[in-house]
Amino acid sequence: MKPYHQIPIDECGEPLVQIPSEHFAFEQPHPYQKLGAPYHNSKADSPYYLRQGVVDSLLAAQKQLQQHHPDWKIQIFDAYRPVEVQQFMVDYTFAEIAKAQGCTLPVAEDKRQVILEKVYQFWAVPSLDRATPPPHSTGAALDINLVDKNHQPIDMGSPIDEISARSYPDHFANSNDPEAKEYHRRRQVLKDAMTAADFQQHPNEWWHFSWGDQMWAWLTNQQQGRSQVMARYGRC
């Protein structure tokens, strides 16, 4: 169990709505659909859905971004993710790490636990327990990048979903290398736009932001030094 799973959920009942395509860029084709992830049983007909309140905050973040970078847009890599897709991606990531380490499937139990620890540093457990939903399965979390005026992704120094220390938001913060400093500056531009709209950033992932889920509530309480904020969104 993650620390944020201790946060109670006061489900508000907001619907999932499609992210308006006219305001954002989108990763196409969707990276997990391309791998064969099972979205066909979900309540939304595409991964590019969020709760209504989260979409409203995302629009505010886009406006904030364009005050300083008028030619840039937020690019949606992933948004709503059914638990079945979460399980698919955990299994896929596990297999990729095992392959990279020269393991054959099935992996011995001791080695399996070591690999799972790596997986769960970045991927939430695909829990079906309504008290501990994966953040993306609430419709309140999204993975994003930025694109420039030519719709080219801004290089942040590591790709989304990379299992490495480079994924940590402040990985390049103390570097003296000019290129690394630029990566940090770009990450900060993204973070500043999102946090100005009251999103919270995942501690381990420069690309992951949420508004209204358990992680968001837990991080908000940590910042405020209180335990008053509850999650608005549970599993869809």
Distance of CA 125 to the CA centre of its chain: 14
Per the residue annotation, which of 14, 162, 179, 205 is the catalytic one?
205
Please check whether residue 29 is in contact with residue 76, taking contact to mean a CB–CB distance below 8 angstroms.
no
Other CB atoms within a 10 A radius of the CB of residue 94 amount to: 20
CA distances from residue 112 to 83, 88, 198 in whole angstroms, order as listed: 21, 17, 38
Pull the structure tokens for residue 101.
Answer: 């380490």
| 27 flagged as catalytic | no
Query: What is the spatial distance between Cα 110 and Cα 75, in angstroms, rounded to a whole number?
Result: 39
Pull the structure tokens for residue 151.
Answer: 């719709």
Query: What is the spatial distance between Cα 188 and Cα 210, in angstroms, rounded to a whole number?
Result: 16
Give the residue numbers annotated as catalytic, written as ranges.
205
